[in-house]
Every structure is written in C-alpha cells, then in structure tokens.
Structure 1
Amino acid sequence: MALQIISVLLFTVFFSKALTLVCYNCLTLVPPGTCKQTANCSSNVGCNSITIYNGSNIGNNNWCANSSSCDNWSITLGRIRRSSLCCTSDLCNKATASDSENGLMCYTCNDIHCSNTQTQKCKGEENQCITTTVNVNNIISKGCASQNFCKNSTLWRNALLSSIVGNSILPNNVLLNNSQFQQLSMSSVSCCGANLCNNAPSMAQEAVLLLVPVLSSFLSI
C-alpha cells in the first residue's frame, strides 16, 4: 500500500512538471535576446515575446500569456512598431518578429488628421495596410499590420492605442491621464491587402476631383 502511494506521488510530481511550461519572464523592457529571468507557467498558457520599436530604440517584454490572448501579430504606424510572437515550448520566447521587408507598401500619417501622408515599407507578416480612427479629436493613423491583427479586435485597444499615443500622434494640447486613456476607443479600423490601398480620398478631395471635368469644359468654351 505504501509503495502504491509513493508511486502515485511520484507520478503526480513528474506529470505536473511535464505540464509546466518554462518561459522567459522580463516584465520591463530589455534589449532583444537579453532576458535571463524565467518563470514556470501553467499548462494553459504560451510564452509571449512583445517587441517595441520607437524609431531609435528597441526593447522586449517576455512573459507567460494566456493561450486565448497569446497570438502572433505585428503593426507599424510610422516610426512605431509593435509585434508579438507566441510559442508553446520551453524558453521559446526569446525570438523577435521578422524585420525583413516583404514588398508591401502602405501610407502612413504625418499629422493627427492624416492630411499629409508618406509611404512606408511593410515588414515580416505585415501583409495589410491599416487605417484607424480614435474617438479623441478624430485622430487618424495609417500603416502596416498583419492580417490576424486586423481580424482580432481584442488586440486593438492596448497594442494599437498604445502605439498611437507612443507615436506622439496626439496633439501637444491633448494630455491623457490613465483614466482618459482607458476611455479611448477605436471609432473604426479597416484593412486592405494591396499596395497603397489605405489612402482613400476625403470627401473634399473627391468633390475637387468631380469638379475637374466640369471646370475643364467651362475653360474650353
């Protein structure tokens, strides 16, 4: 009987260890690939690596993430890029998303209402051009995003809004405290998969274009 109890205990110990996932765990930003701290995670999670690039500096967060929210995605808005890699083997979350250009080009904004745009080259899995509008001052942002980011609305709030605020797209006279930031929401998010497809003309621009042939006919009289 005692031998059976010992056998059950040993099986339980070894089985629970087999179900435990070991992930790198650095909750503050560190240079990519330098996280040394680890954590034992439960069986229903994945190892997550979040990479943040602000145009001059790049950093990583590494942690255990719930499997329902752990996903691979990437988004670039101007000079700000955020990407996530999720994996399910021990210490797999040291890698970062691909930084290689993939051939897609999208428009990005130079001001909060996107009246002035420029093009940017998309990287890695960013196979969609994205356009977003925030409910504060109707702030518009454009850039590159991965398809699964566009389809997963639960990612929009923290990743997208943090990118917008971090990209200094908010005007200087708009200062947000934590409570106000939590109230931010996306009025709209749209994605498309062709080169420079996220530059739909404004109503004013469309009106001007419609008037061109009319004005030409008058000038030709």
Structure 2
Amino acid sequence: MQILVLILGIVLLPRACALKCYECTPDLSGSCTQTTKECPSNTQCGSVRATSYAGGLKVADFKEKGCAAAEECVQASINFGGSQTLITTKCCTSDLCNSQDAPEGSISPPNGKKCFYCDGIHCTNTLKCNGDEDHCISTAVTVEGQKVTLKGCASKLICSETQSAQISAIIGEEVNCCQGDLCNSASSTSVSLLLFVTPLITLVLFS
C-alpha cells in the first residue's frame, strides 16, 4: 500500500506543483490578449519589455509575458548609434505572479568602451557604449535584396550562445561579437541604412 501511495505521489506531484503564469505575446501593433499557461518545470513566470529609441526619442515599446528560464531573467541592450534597444525583465516564482509589466529601461551613461558603428555609408564612426554594453557587435541584414552592415555596442546577453539563434532571426544571420575597444573593425557599406531598425523589439526571450 505504501509503495502504491509513493508511486501515485511521484506521478501526480509534478502536475500538482506546475507553475501557472500569465502569457501574452504582442502582435505587430504591440497589443496582446493575456491568457494563463502551465509552465514546464525549472521555469519561472516572467515579463519582458523591449524599448527602442532613435535620436534619443522612444519609437517602440513592446511588452511580453510567459514562462522564463532563469538565464532569461536579465537586462540587456544593443546600440547601433542611430538606434538603441533596451531589454528589461521581471521574474517571479509563484502562480500568476507576472501580472505586472517589466519596468521600462532607461539609457545609461557611457561606460568608457568604444565600438565602430555605421552611418549608412561608412562604418568608420566611433560610438561610445552605454551601461552594460561590454561587447562590440557586427551583423549584416538584407534590405530590399541588398545587404546592409550594422555595427555597434551590445551587452553580453545579446552575444551569448543561448540567444544567438533568436538574435540572428531578427538582426541578421552573420552576427559577430568581440571584446576590446573598436574590435569590430571598420569597413564601408554602399547601402543607405534605413531606420527600419526597430531591432529586437520582437525578440522572444520567453519561447
């Protein structure tokens, strides 16, 4: 009898202890319908927010909720000179605890690190990195059939192996990161860089 109770306990315990979280994935307009979801084990409830700025003005503010692994509960930013996207998260470990949005990120002061960035014609411009942007980044995206080079500053999360596939899907397939001032070597690009780069506002951290 005790063995039967033990077996039933092992079978039923994971279901009984499954964490329920709010889930909300925005559409292209930025709005979404909030639902509830039973999350896998070893995850938390999380809210993520991606705020994009261009010329110092906020141009996009996307919010998402769902199940999150511990390594996804981080802060990050990516800066291409003309545009910068800040990612903030808020995670918790009780049922439906992610009812509130993650806080909006704010642009931090320069941290002393420098990387090259592209102005649409040349990639020889020097960009001062902000906050936790401790890597230089280079990527290439295709716009109207032509390849455009993007360079700038990024925090460690943007360059991590766990996020590389998601990053590549949004800002290009050829993402390269390095550490050290101006390590993302300068080059030229003949294609005008459009401010279509609302980069990473559709980044799905909680997949």
Q: TM above 0.5, one fold?
A: yes
Pairing 1:11-90 to 2, within 5 Å after superposition: 16-18=15-17, 20-28=18-26, 37-55=35-53, 56-65=59-68, 67=69, 70=72, 72=74, 74-78=76-80, 79-81=83-85, 83=87, 85=89, 87=91, 89-90=93-94
- Return the index of the structure with the highest Cα Rg: 1
Please give the per-residue CA displacement for 1:73-129, whole angstroms capped at 9, x wherever unaligned: 623233241536474623358434753515245443221x64463635423x32222
CA contact (8 A) 1:110 1:118 kept: no
Write the distance in 1 (CA, Å) between the matches of 2:184 and 2:6.
66
Amino acid at match of 1:23: C
More helix by share: 1
Is 138-147 or 99-108 further displaced after alignment? Answer: 99-108
The unaligned stretches of length 5 or more in structure 2 are: 54-58, 189-207
Q: How many residues align?
A: 173
Write the distance in 2 (CA, Å) between the matches of 1:5 and 1:141.
61
Indicate which of 137, 145, 151 corresponds to 1:142.
Answer: 151
CA contact (8 A) 2:76 2:86 kept: yes
Q: 1:13 to 1:42 in 2, by over 3 A?
A: same
SS at match of 2:25: strand
**Aligned-residue identity in percent:** 20
Write the distance in 1 (CA, Å) between the matches of 2:138 and 2:86.
16
Q: 1:71 to 1:5 in 2, by over 3 A?
A: same
Please give the per-residue CA displacement for 1:58-80, whole angstroms capped at 9, x wherever unaligned: 11111224x49846362323324
Greater relative contact order, per chain length (Cα 8 Å cut-off, separation 6+):
2
User: Under a length normalisation based on structure 1, what TM-score does the superposition of the two structures give?
Assistant: 0.55
The unaligned stretches of length 5 or more in structure 1 are: 165-183, 204-221
Number of the residue aligned with 2:167: 159
User: Under a length normalisation based on structure 2, what TM-score does the superposition of the two structures give?
Assistant: 0.58
